Amino acid sequence: MAGNRAVAYQGPGRVEVRDIDYPSFTLQDGPGVNPANVGRELPHAAILKVVTTNICGSDQHMVRGRTTAPEGLVLGHEITGEVVETGPGVEFIKEGDLVSVPFNIACGRCRNCKEGATGICLNVNPDRPGSAYGYVDMGGWVGGQAEYVLVPYADWNLLKFPDKDRAMEKILDLTMLSDIFPTGFHGAVSAGTGVGSTVYVAGAGPVGLAAAASAQLLGAAVVIVGDLQEERLQQARSFGCETVDVSKGDPKDQIEQILGVPEVDCGVDAVGFEARGHGAGAAQEAPATVLNSLMDLTRAGGGIGIPGLYVTGDPGGVDEAAKEGSLSLRLGLGWAKSHYFITGQCPVMKYHRGLMQAILHDRVQIAKAVNATVVSLDEAPEAYAEFDSGVARKYVIDPHGLVA
């Protein structure tokens, strides 16, 4: 049997590469595993040799110590891999298939899955609807920043690429299908983006850049991206976005300079609960800032998509309310303007096949938009530190040296 190594959370600010067990078709106990899931038999699962696995901003929240993640938790929910073994209940996925893994773990059998809401599957997390690999309070499924990983309900969850050689040529684009491309797309779609829309995306991290590229793909007339980091704003401009530096003041005023009016049709929150203030308050964490700002600058009747992460437990919250995910929102303003809001995990399966086709047929270059940067598994701790500094990169881990 092959060995296995993975990236594990070791406490605030620390990750390390360590030896872990090779996957088996029984869910084992370990850091973060829900006791009700221990011993769960998985004949419907597949074991993958990981080809690429990405570092996500959601991982960074845990590594900063801003969640209740336990030490030793194996990280990684953005996974692309080659099937090396299947359980006796797997019928259609075969050994040798190159596949994308949605970060949502879904059974395909419950009411929510059957209705397409795979981000809130009822059968994979004993604590609450919804699950993901290598993530706090998500049932304890082992993360994929590893050499090998197990994927349950393989026939349902896995997206097989139709041509392995062609897929490997575009692997840096296709690796984004596990999370950030569908998540950014979901944010743009949820906000109502269409042909001719004006769109403001708060946050120029990888999800924000993916949302901006998605808005362009959907036909937006103007896409404006706001952030505090000039390097990230430069990355947004590199593929045709307008930008605003929110450290210089209210984005609404800067949007008026671009559009001639101080509002947009659609707003996307790609920042989440670690938001900071605008202008003179940019140095201070203010978790409701982005949501309140979006209500202010989105036109009456417009939509706000919220792919940015909000949590129910934040030990580092700025006050007692924020520590349990309670924020001071101007909901009255949103009500008065008849806004609608869509939040929660992106249901990746709703989008990933279509986005795969857009990549394979050269309709979008998502890896270029997010500045995909390949590192080895051993370089992952350094990549985490660099990502935390605000660099404009999307780190792609290549555990087996398979990426050209």
Query: Please, which pLDDT band fits residue 280 given cuts at 50, 70 and 90?
Result: confident
- Bridge partners of 222, per DSSP, are 198
What pLDDT digit, counting tens, does each position of 324-382 carry? Answer: 889 999 999 999 999 999 999 999 999 999 999 999 999 999 999 999 999 999 999 99
Instruction: Give me the residue spans of the domains in the chain.
Output: 5-179+347-397, 181-343
Q: Are 78 and 175 in contact (CB under 8 A)?
A: yes
Distance CA 403, CA 27 (A): 30
pLDDT above 90 (res 279): no
Helix axes 180-190, 352-360, angle to 10 degrees: 110
Helix axes 206-217, 230-237, angle to 10 degrees: 20
Distance CA 276, CA 287 (A): 6
Report, as an integer, the average pLDDT of 227-236. 96
Query: Please, which pLDDT band fits residue 236 given cuts at 50, 70 and 90?
Result: very high
Distance CA 79, CA 380 (A): 15
Distance CA 114, CA 283 (A): 45
Half-sphere exposure (Cβ direction) of 94: Cα atoms closer than 13 Å: 4
What pLDDT digit, counting tens, does each position of 282-336 carry? Answer: 778 889 999 999 999 999 999 999 999 998 888 888 899 889 889 999 999 999 9
pLDDT above 80 (res 215): yes
pLDDT above 70 (res 19): yes
Of the candidate ranges 75-79, 91-95, 179-183, 385-389, the one whose mean pLDDT is the lowest? 385-389
Of 205, 218, 169, 198, give the one whose Cα is nearest residue 307.
Answer: 205
Query: Please, which pLDDT band fits residue 37 given cuts at 50, 70 and 90?
Result: very high
Which residue shows structure tokens 């030990």?
315
What pLDDT digit, counting tens, does each position of 248-262 carry? Answer: 998 999 999 999 999
Please give the model's pTM, rounded to 2 decimal places: 0.96
Half-sphere exposure (Cβ direction) of 200: Cα atoms closer than 13 Å: 33
For residues 314 and 52, the model is more confident at 52
What pLDDT digit, counting tens, does each position of 156-196 carry? Answer: 999 999 999 999 999 999 999 999 999 999 999 999 999 99
Distance CA 366, CA 372 (A): 9
For the four alpha carbons of 313, 203, 358 and 404, in that order, the dihedral sign comes to negative
Query: Please, which pLDDT band fits residue 271 given cuts at 50, 70 and 90?
Result: very high
Which pLDDT does position 63 carry in this prediction? 95
pLDDT above 60 (res 1): no
* CB-CB neighbours of 184 under 10 Å: 33
Report domain 181-343's class: alpha beta
- Contacts of residue 396, Cβ cutoff 8 Å, sequence gap at least 6: 52, 53, 54, 172, 175, 372, 373, 374, 375, 403
Report domain 5-179+347-397's class: alpha beta
Tell me what the pLDDT averaged over the chain comes to.
Answer: 96
pLDDT above 60 (res 241): yes
Cα distances from 188 to residues 85, 121, 398, in angstroms, run 37, 23, 29
Report, as an integer, the average pLDDT of 103-112. 98
